[in-house]
Amino acid sequence: MDKKPLKRDIFDEIVKYAGTDNIIVLQGARQVGKSHILFYFDDFLKNRGKLTYFFDLEDPRLVDVLNRGAESTLSFLNNEGIELEKIKNSSEKLYVFIDEIQYLNNPSSLLKLLADHHKYIQLIVSGSSSFDIKSKFSDSLVGRTVNFEIYNLSFPEFLRFKKIPFDARRKLSAYHLEKIKNMYKEYVLFGGYPKVVLEKSLEKKERYIYQIIDTYVKKDIRDLAKIKDVQKFNNLLKILAAQSGQLLNVAKLADTCSLSKPTVEKYLFILENTYIIKLVHPFSSSARVEVVKTPKIFFYDTGIMELLWIKTFPQNFVGNTFETSVFAELSKKYGEQNVYFWRNRNQNEIDFVLRLKNKLLPVEVKSNFRNFRKASMNSFLDRYKIKNFQIVSLEGDKRGKNYIYPWEL
């Protein structure tokens, strides 16, 4: 690495498992920064006098070494000058990083043998998607792994990577508020992939996102799904991008793309398990009253969403881009499994409902604070006997403590 890796927020959770017998697994889409986190972790441990070794499986020679099994891997480490027997007889651990573990033919066998019979070694591995991980990892690893999902940069991380000082707890002056608003607009328009964030040239930002779309969103996923009609799949991606934040009608989508319903469902499953989209389900405590079962679709990255849809970066937000960005921020902060939306028989609707331990928090997203009308919110608050709610916007004047900017979520 030419530059010192920067800390990601999730690292504070990951590092809690350093020194345990767990296999630490990082999974997420390509280019979101999994390798970056591994490099940061490696530096973190070395700076504390710990022993580490890093396998980058982009090198096919190393893939061959690990594919031959545990003994081959241990022999390789010894030949690299690592005194395994000495480590084994001490109270220390050797931390072995394996980047892009999905390249191995049978990673489960290797990881299980090392974890079970060589506890002086802790494994920290990364994989490109939960689809890859689930297809390559067997049930033999159940109980041995602790898994972390890695997403593109959150807005606070975006600011950190751009070296812009920011403390969400501090009251901003009018000048600094306008500056942070403009930064958030840039974040929404171009997305949160680290390489894109760090690039200053608009032309290069666009090229980098197209590379991600062409080499991963299209090619890799086409290969995973064994897609034969590429044009129909590409049309599906474009339509999904235009519908981010909207209810998903699979039958209508299949008809529009001239695909069968089971085929569309298969493609949606793979897109969701490769961290391109997320299907957000309706919140309900009573299926009789809140009958909507149709999920909404959201993209995790607004930059990819915009280029799939309109083929160029717009000057301002279009469609549901801002709402999509708020979904992504909520997912990173609270966990995507805790994010819902709400709609009842009377068509009252709340954009997001967070299920947080023993409480609910409804969140409404508006282009301007003045556009908020409280009818749907009152319906939800009355239904669930709660008082707290949040209105999220970038524009207009706040009208009270419930009105927040997206970085205050």
Element (H or E) spanning 98, and its range? strand 94-99
3-state secondary structure of 343: strand
Q: What's the pLDDT tens digit per position in 190-213?
A: 999 999 999 999 999 999 999 999
222 by Cβ neighbours in 10 Å (0-12 / 13-18 / 19+) ranks as: middle
DSSP string, 177-233: HHHHHHHHHHHHHH---HHHHH---HHHHHHHHHHHIIIIIIIIHHHHHT-S-HHHH
Closest CA to 194 of 59, 308, 303, 271: 303
Q: What is the four-CA torsion angle of 241, 247, 251, 256, rounded to 10 degrees?
A: -40
pLDDT, position 347:
85
Q: Using 50, 70 and 90 to split pLDDT, how confident is the model at 169?
A: confident
- Cα 236 to the center of its chain, rounded Å: 21
Q: What is the four-CA torsion angle of 302, 306, 308, 314, rounded to 10 degrees?
A: -160
Rounded mean pLDDT of 219-238?
Answer: 83
Residue pointed to by tokens 């041995």: 144
- Cα 195 to the center of its chain, rounded Å: 15
Percent of the chain with pLDDT over 90: 72
Q: Using 50, 70 and 90 to split pLDDT, how confident is the model at 138?
A: low
pLDDT, position 119:
94
Average pLDDT, the chain: 90
pLDDT, position 227:
81
Residue pointed to by tokens 């920290």: 124
As annotated, the residues of the chain forming the CATH 3.40.50.300 domain(s) are: 11-150
Q: Using 50, 70 and 90 to split pLDDT, how confident is the model at 404?
A: very high
Closest CA to 301 of 158, 202, 165, 167: 158
Say which CATH architecture domain 11-150 belongs to. Answer: 3-Layer(aba) Sandwich (3.40)
Q: What's the pLDDT tens digit per position in 80-100?
A: 999 999 999 998 999 999 999
**Residues paired with residue 350 on neighbouring β-strands, in sequence order:** 342
DSSP string, 396-409: S---STTEE-GGG-
Rounded mean pLDDT of 150-170?
Answer: 92
Rounded mean pLDDT of 281-293?
Answer: 66
CB 378 within 8 A of CB 400: no
pLDDT, position 132:
60
Q: What's the pLDDT tens digit per position in 174-183?
A: 999 999 999 9
pLDDT, position 318:
65
Q: Which two tokens stand for residue 272?
A: 């969701």
* Strand 349-356 versus strand 23-27 pairing type: unpaired
Q: What strands lie across the sheet with 246-247, from one edge to the other?
A: 246-247, 296-299, 277-280
Element (H or E) spanning 125, and its range? strand 121-127
Angle (deg, nearest 10), helices 302-310 and 321-334 = 150
Q: How far apart are the first and last CA of the chain?
A: 33
Residue type for position 397:
D
pLDDT, position 314:
65
Residue type for position 12:
D
CB 399 within 8 A of CB 371: no
Using CA atoms, how far apart are residues 177 and 93, in angstroms rounded to an integer? 47
The pLDDT of residue 1 is above 50: no
295 by Cβ neighbours in 10 Å (0-12 / 13-18 / 19+) ranks as: middle
CB count, 10 Å around CB of 378? 12
pLDDT, position 374:
92
Question: How far apart, in Å, are the Cα atoms of 230 and each of 190, 234, 249, 259, 271?
Answer: 26, 6, 21, 12, 15
3-state secondary structure of 122: strand
pLDDT, position 121:
97
Question: What letter would DSSP give residue 294?
Answer: P
Angle at alpha carbon of residue 244, lines to 8 and 201, rounded to 5°: 55
Q: What's the pLDDT tens digit per position in 289-345?
A: 444 588 999 999 999 999 998 766 666 776 689 999 999 999 999 999 999 999 888
Q: What's the pLDDT tens digit per position in 336-391?
A: 999 999 988 888 999 999 998 889 999 999 999 999 999 999 999 999 999 999 99
